[in-house]
A and B are shown apart, each in its own frame.
Chain A
Amino acid sequence: MPTFEKKLLDLSQLSVIITDDSKVTAKQLLEQSAALRSGCSELKSKSVAVVYTDTISFVTALVAFDGFCGALYLCSRDSIKSIPKDVCHWPINSKTDCSKSTVTSQNDGLSLPIKTKWYLASSGTSGMPKWFSHRFSDLIRQTRISATLQNLCWGSLYEPHRFAGLQVTLQALLSGASLVVTEKTNVIDRVSVYAQQNVSAISATPSMWRQLLMTNQLHSLSLSHISLGGEIADQGIIDALSHYFPIANIRHIYASTEAGVGFVVSDKKAGFPQSWLQEGVNGAELQVDGNQHLRIKPQGRLDKSLVNRIDENGFLDTEDRVELVKGRVLFLGRASGIINVGGNKVHPEKVESVLLSVEGVLQVRVYAKANSVLGALVEAEITINPSLDWSVLVKKIRSQCKLKLQRFEIPVKLRQVTRMEINSSGKLSRSNINV
């Protein structure tokens, strides 16, 4: 059974993580993780939430605890709030009491390595993260190793507790490549760091790529590998990147946190070839059902909690809507109405409940408005008590939104309507009218 540590051992002389102020080789990562593990015997076989503080510490903990702990929850400072109470926290703080934590490994930790479950967060319908388990072997199924890939230097734009960030980190470290991480938040500064470190491969969402294009500094990079993921990659962004980097390998990645890993499209066209519905891709089988939802049967195991979305043939309803156009399967958006704002998922129900909590608001409908910069923005239609002044109420609504919602969740437009459209089932219609 491969563990992160075992896989990294083979590449201890090659892989390296470069931060703003240090360079850590795989060999050093392995030494640090071994030291960390020997100092954390109380975590053996337990479920542990590894909280992201910085990339080096986070990756060190993952190497140390895979095969040692029963389960690993890859957390941000926000998502830690949603993990089960009996899960230990790392870094260990004064609130951590692992003596009461349940031993979760299958063999009670009598021998090592044990089969560690890796939990990654996906946003649930209420806006609270849902946790889906994966095996390490599934997470590295798409990791590729070759002499070319070994010479790459990856620039990471995602934090490694997110599915996409973990994929980039694993690809870089397990192919013997370099990984550049920077704490700089300004995108122009980031590009300067990447140029300085000779970054040759970047993985980012289409929205992030549009920002990178706006820096007018991309010509300072020599990119040979470009990946897009996390949002629908339209033909416009693929063409713009092809223009800047005509000989680069440009891939857009379809991956679902729930399904594990999806597939990669590298023909510089949006969507994927319709022939894959018959042939499958990378061991995964694909279908489009009667509701125009993409169904996927991955090679790896699916989380048990998804049972209601898996059909009798083992296909998972991804709830991604697609259409067939001229031999391509093109993505349209989420069937559930979830709005993807630059890679951040917004649940219309959550936004609607905040708007409805303002006195004088009678009905609301929150929907996606297509946007060429971030894919989509949130808008809302509102009916109010006719005796109230719209402009006064708008101020109240905006201040309530600022209190209760994250910035990307706040409707950018509030439109007053006199009545709401009700669909045949008596519910407010929330179809994405402009996406």
Chain B
Amino acid sequence: MNIEQVVRNAMIAVAEISDCKLITPIEAQTVLLESGLDSLGYAMLVGQLEEELGLDPFTEMAITIYPSTFAEFVVIYQQGYDRKLA
């Protein structure tokens, strides 16, 4: 599964429901807090990904370094997904 694409699609879907306007393009170094999603939108994104991927790395993994950029966010989900499959 292409986790990056799943995250991108979820961001677009969540932005629409939460009345947020995503910046374009979302690149690897895009800072999440400046992506256009506010805290509610970001919370909805984590909820949406939990439904789609069946995991929430923020509760399941002991994350002490929070992701700041889009790339870091994708890496955390990729790691969580790989662990789930292992």
Contact = CB atoms under 8 A, between A and B. Distances in A.
Interface residues of A, number: 30
A214 B64 contact: no
Contact of A373 (B31, B43, B62, B68): B43
A377 B56 CA distance: 14
B42 interface: yes
A239 interface: yes
Given A214-B67, A412-B17, A412-B47, A374 B40 contact: yes
A187 B67 CA distance: 15
Interface in A136-190: 186-188
A91 interface: no
Contacts of B23: none
Interface stretch (A118-126, A205-213, A253-261): A205-213
Interface in A366-383: 369-374, 377
A210 B66 contact: yes
A214 B40 contact: no
Interface in A226-261: 236, 239-240, 243-244
B59 A187 contact: no
A215 B32 CA distance: 8
A211 B33 contact: yes
A342 B58 CA distance: 16
A213 B59 CA distance: 15
Interface in A271-287: none
Contacts of B31: 188, 216
B61 to A, nearest CB: 9
A391 B33 CA distance: 31
Nearest to A213: B66
B68 A236 contact: no
A188 B43 contact: no
Interface centre among B47, B56, B63 (most CB of A within 10 A): B47
Interface string A381-408: 0000000000000000010001000011
B7 interface: no
Contacts of A374: 39-40, 43
Nearest to A239: B64
A240, A372, A408 interface centre (most CB from chain B within 10 Å): A372
Nearest to B20: A407
A216 B63 contact: no
Contacts of A213: 66
A240 B66 contact: yes
Nearest to B19: A407
B11 interface: no
Given A188-B33, A214-B33, A408 B40 contact: yes
A342 B39 contact: yes
B15 interface: no
Interface residues of B, number: 25
Contacts of A186: 33-34
Contact of A407 (B18, B56, B65, B66): B18
A378 B71 CA distance: 28
A391 B17 CA distance: 14
A187 B47 contact: no
B50 to A, nearest CB: 9
Contact of A215 (B19, B33, B40): B33
Given A187-B33, A372-B46, A373-B58, A211 B39 contact: yes
A236 B59 contact: yes
B78 to A, nearest CB: 17
A236 to B, nearest CB: 7
Contact of A377 (B43, B58, B62, B66): B43
Contacts of A372: 46, 56, 58-59
Contact of B39 (A244, A373, A402): A373
B36 to A, nearest CB: 12
Chain B CB count within 10 A is highest, among A210, A214, A244, A408, for A214
Interface in B38-77: 39-40, 42-44, 46-47, 56, 58-59, 62-69
Closest 8 CB pairs of A and B: A216-B68, A373-B43, A372-B58, A243-B64, A213-B66, A374-B43, A372-B59, A240-B64
Interface of B: 17-19, 31-34, 39-40, 42-44, 46-47, 56, 58-59, 62-69
Interface of A: 186-188, 207, 210-211, 213-216, 236, 239-240, 243-244, 341-342, 369-374, 377, 398, 402, 407-408, 412-413
5 contacts: A214-B33, A214-B42, A243-B65, A369-B47, A377-B44
Given A239-B62, A342-B43, 20 more contacts: A186-B34, A187-B33, A188-B33, A188-B34, A207-B39, A213-B66, A214-B33, A214-B66, A214-B68, A236-B58, A236-B59, A244-B64, A370-B59, A371-B43, A372-B56, A374-B39, A374-B43, A377-B43, A377-B44, A412-B17
